[in-house]
Amino acid sequence: MIDRQALRRDFDAMQAALARRGADVVGEGSPWARVSELDARQRELKTESETLQAERNRVSKEIGLRKGKGEDASAAIAAMGEVSRRVKELDALTKEAEAQFAAALLEIPNPLHDSVPDGSGEEDNVEVSRWGSPRTDAVPAHWDIGTDLGILDFEAGATLAGSRFTVLRGAAARLERGLMQFMLDLHADHHGYEEVWVPAIANARTMTGTGQLPKFAEDLYKLEEEDAYLIPTAEVPVTNLYQDKILDASELPKRHCAYTPCFRREAGSAGRDVRGMIRQHQFDKVELVHITTPERALSDLEELTAHAEAVLQALELPYRKVELCTADIGFSSQKTYDLEVWLPSQQCYREISSCSSFGQFQGRRAGIRFREEGGKPQPAATLNGSGLAIGRTLVALLENGWQQDGSVRIPESLRPYVGGLEVIRP
């Protein structure tokens, strides 16, 4: 959520930062326009109410003086009654305007950091670096590899739950489990994260705190008879572990890793990646979350991204790091790096991790604050990133490890997590 005081203090600068996301963010009828109107309305109502309250105080004194002198105060009493009625009416209007203002604030995206590159679409994202040597030979798609090996069962997934669900069998199921443990061990034992295990269901307050509600309600699975949702990522419960808390600055940064299943309706992706496991309604992911100070937010982003990169390097998967441009960055993000793994069957890089700094945006929404010694509480900065999406990692392993005889080589670093398995054979 944007800073209310900054909205008034730095209106032009904030509007310019938001306008970099696109004209629809600040144009006529936009949430920004509504917020500006409601803020002006609030201030008008407050000014009128304060003026009338001062008048009421003056009239009350006048009534007291007249009564003390034995004079008729009926006219003043009638005038005060009218003022009191108007003040009560203004209080109700102000309360309504505040509720509308607060609701409109939740629909405004995070102003972008100055360093975010300008662009009109994902083609304008900026490549920062590459690692590894991409395969350029002909490699089958992961769905063919997995079907031939008898380890990916798309028909069973569709029968059990519908499209965009997959049943993993044998070596694939073990790989999924092994990858989860491998990633968690790497982050907890070598990168210094505290591992947490969190619910896969979150209430509306929690979803609002990290920005999934109200903006992305159509992408969420809502429980029919409860005000709760299946989580789309561990970012939601892990960040909100500190909801409405005041942390001591000396405790920061807090760094957590967590495995969770994730659930997304993919409402806006009709016709995209309909085959295979790239875009599923249910998938597994290991998430990295930082709670830190605003001054550390961008340096922490570099650190968090490097931790996600370490997983890809350990698994010998070629990838590139790109910085998202103004038109492709997420609603809550201030600055984002995507890690894109090489898929030989498509001869292109595909996203496998998104690492973002949110500045104080989520801290304000979720009430996550910190206090320097002797200072006042202020919103904490938050970051998160996939470390990694397990299903997409499995896809990348199948394609990059595929061999001409139809088998798939397992990277050495992963073998202890899959019972010493070196090769998956037909």
Residue stretches of the annotated binding site for ATP: 264-266, 351-354
Q: Is 224 exposed, middle or buried (0-12, 13-18, 19+ CB in 10 A)?
A: exposed
Q: Which two tokens stand for residue 162?
A: 């519908």
Is the Cβ–Cβ distance between 206 and 243 less than 8 Å? yes
- C-alpha triplet 41, 46, 47: angle, nearest 5°: 100
Catalytic residue annotation: 264, 279, 351, 354, 392
Question: Looking at the DSSP assignment, which residues form a beta bridge with residue 384?
Answer: 289, 356
Q: Which two tokens stand for residue 417?
A: 């997590």
Contacts of 358 (CB under 8 A, 6+ apart): 110, 211, 297, 332, 333, 334, 381, 382, 383, 384
**Alpha carbon distance 107, 114 (integer Å):** 21
**What one-letter code names the amino acid at 188?**
A
Q: Which two tokens stand for residue 285?
A: 């992911």
